[in-house]
Amino acid sequence: MAVNHCEIKTSAVKPSHRPLILTACMLSMFMAAVEVTIVATAMPTIIGDLGGFSLLGWVFAVYLLTQAITVPIYGRLADLYGCRKMFFIGTTLFLIGSVLCGFAPSLAWMIGFRALQGLGAGAITPIATTLIANVYGPEERAKAQGYLSSVWGVSAIVGPLMGAFIVSHFPWAVVFWVNVPIGLIAMAILIKYLPPDGQRKQHQLDLAGTAYLTLSVAALLLALLQAETLGYWALALLAFAVLCGGLLVRQERKTPEPLFPLALWDSKVIIAGNIGGLIIGATMMGISAFLPTYVQGVLGGTPLEAGTTLALMSVGWPLASMFSSRMMQATSYRITAVTGALLLVAGSLALLLLSPSSGLWMARLAAFSIGAGMGLCNTTFIVSVQNSAEPAIRGIATASTLFTRMLGSAMGTAVLGATLNLNLEYRLPQVNDPVQQLMEKTTRGAMDSGLLNQLTESVAASLHWVFVVSAVISVLAVAAGLLIPSGDRPQRETQRES
């Protein structure tokens, strides 16, 4: 029987300490989740100070790249060497990277420090999620994970507001340094109240598998995130990613302690969770990346109206996440996941009803519906995977589900972005960057009515096809939910942790 050093008996944690551990995990996840949105708000100020506008995209891409690569690696390390230890290592790297970003003398240096941040962030989300699974029993786990999942929705609202406030009243470096007290508080709580990891035995990390995974994911994400810049070289990167992926599969089949244990692929629930993570990650990008563009570019709304419209997704997410625990226990994982998927489909179909003459209410209804669907689906897939996984592989099982969601987001961005660009090229071949022209208030105001109507209708038609593809992807979430065996729910499981 494999030994899991990440496993903590629920009886080893005092009931009064569990909310404190949950709070620490929520703080740490908030710190990692808010990082992208808070920095995005501050980037114009940072660029004005440091220059290097041509490198702007890499400030975000390198963080997401290093984070995505390390998520499954940390998940497996947590199983082998202990959640507590890996959490502290990852959080320390993240905080060091945050401090150094504030001192960056140029944007090139900041990109390097952001890579270090991402290397730490890859530990925070999967291990915090696994810690909660270990501290709470199966019946309580759904409610606790609902609270943890809601952090993503809250951070999407709070991040831009925090970023705007900080750059208005403090040096831009504070955008990064604000992480330090949050991270130290979370670590202090866990040091005091989280029991030490189990007794250590000798393990051998699958270094070859780790190398193949790193190369495959790095090549895939670079091809997806930088497709327009790379051109046909993106196809070469995709081929290299497939090659490394094949070598990874071969390595996993023969190594004694694989990075992805074969037991992961013997469970229908874990397979459903990974497929579901991939799909909901891609579906989410249909609204996160392109709905604000529709509100501002087609409907002529202000950035505030676009922001408040998208914020409704962030409102629906935590509300549904907290409700999901009751629904899972009253019905089943399958019913809860399928209900969430149907909300994703409903929201995606609502996006198809948008037109240049429609008001904001339809866009906001779609945003709320998709947010609620994300809250139900995301929490259900995580909880069902954790409750079905043996303790010895719970860390990597959790990390794989989170990893596939991140991978889905990157793939969704690439596919939907390509759909938009192809449609714009077909409809407006002679117009340079029509979306940007519509979104810039002064440029839009200077257009004559004929050109404005032509651009608006063409961009609306192009975005309509983006929403069509997003709706098709969302339908696949229903299929993923149906893969979960019927009747399974938290309260029916054997409480191995007790």
CA dihedral sign, ordered 408, 413, 418, 419: positive
The reported pLDDT for the residue numbered 418 is 82
* 492 — pLDDT class (breaks 50, 70, 90): very low
Please choose, from the candidates 299, 410, 309, the residue with its C-alpha nearest in 3D space to the C-alpha of residue 369: 309
What tokens does 382 get? 């995580």
Domain 12-199, CATH: 1.20.1250.20
- Cα 412 from Cα 221, distance rounded (Å): 11
* 335 — pLDDT class (breaks 50, 70, 90): very high
- Cα 491 from Cα 126, distance rounded (Å): 24
* 411 — pLDDT class (breaks 50, 70, 90): confident
Q: Residue type for 2, please?
A: A
Q: 172 pLDDT exceeds 50? A: yes
* 183 — pLDDT class (breaks 50, 70, 90): very high
Q: Residue type for 257, please?
A: E
> Which range is least confidently modeled, 93-102, 198-207, 303-312, 434-443?
198-207
Q: 497 pLDDT exceeds 60? A: no
Please choose, from the candidates 482, 478, 469, 480, the residue with its C-alpha nearest in 3D space to the C-alpha of residue 341: 478
Please indicate whether residue 202 or residue 138 has the higher confidence score (pLDDT).
138
* Mean pLDDT for the stretch of residues 325-335: 89
What tokens does 225 get? 């995130």
Question: In terms of C-beta density within 10 A (0-12 exposed, 13-18 middle, 19 or more buried), how is residue 255 classed?
Answer: middle
- Cα 154 from Cα 161, distance rounded (Å): 11
Q: 495 pLDDT exceeds 60? A: no
Q: Are 392 and 73 in contact, with CB atoms under 8 Å apart? A: no
Q: 114 pLDDT exceeds 70? A: yes
Q: Are 29 and 193 in contact, with CB atoms under 8 Å apart? A: no
Please choose, from the candidates 79, 188, 62, the residue with its C-alpha nearest in 3D space to the C-alpha of residue 115: 62
* Mean pLDDT for the stretch of residues 142-153: 81
The reported pLDDT for the residue numbered 28 is 93
* Mean pLDDT for the stretch of residues 55-66: 81
Which range of 139-143, 305-309, 403-407 scores highest in mean pLDDT? It is 403-407
> Which range is least confidently modeled, 300-304, 348-352, 363-367?
300-304
* Mean pLDDT for the stretch of residues 84-106: 94
Number of residues that make up the chain: 498
The reported pLDDT for the residue numbered 3 is 45
* Mean pLDDT for the stretch of residues 23-27: 93
Please indicate whether residue 203 or residue 28 has the higher confidence score (pLDDT).
28
Please choose, from the candidates 312, 327, 324, the residue with its C-alpha nearest in 3D space to the C-alpha of residue 361: 312
The reported pLDDT for the residue numbered 283 is 85
The reported pLDDT for the residue numbered 135 is 87
The reported pLDDT for the residue numbered 450 is 83
Dihedral Cα 24, 30, 31, 37, nearest 10 deg:
180
Residue 150: count other Cβ atoms within 10 Å of its Cβ: 23
Q: 496 pLDDT exceeds 90? A: no
- Cα 94 from Cα 180, distance rounded (Å): 9
The residue assigned the tokens 């992961």 is 264
Q: 339 pLDDT exceeds 80? A: yes
> What's the CATH superfamily of 263-493?
MFS general substrate transporter like domains (1.20.1250.20)
The reported pLDDT for the residue numbered 288 is 75
If you ran DSSP here, which 8-state letter would residue 489 be given? Answer: -
What tokens does 482 get? 């149906």
Q: What is the pTM of this model?
A: 0.81
* Mean pLDDT for the stretch of residues 231-258: 86
Helix/strand/coil for 184: helix
SS (H, E, C) 377-427: HHHHHHHHHHHHCCHHHHHHHHHHHHHHHHHHHHHHHHHHHHHHHHHHHHH
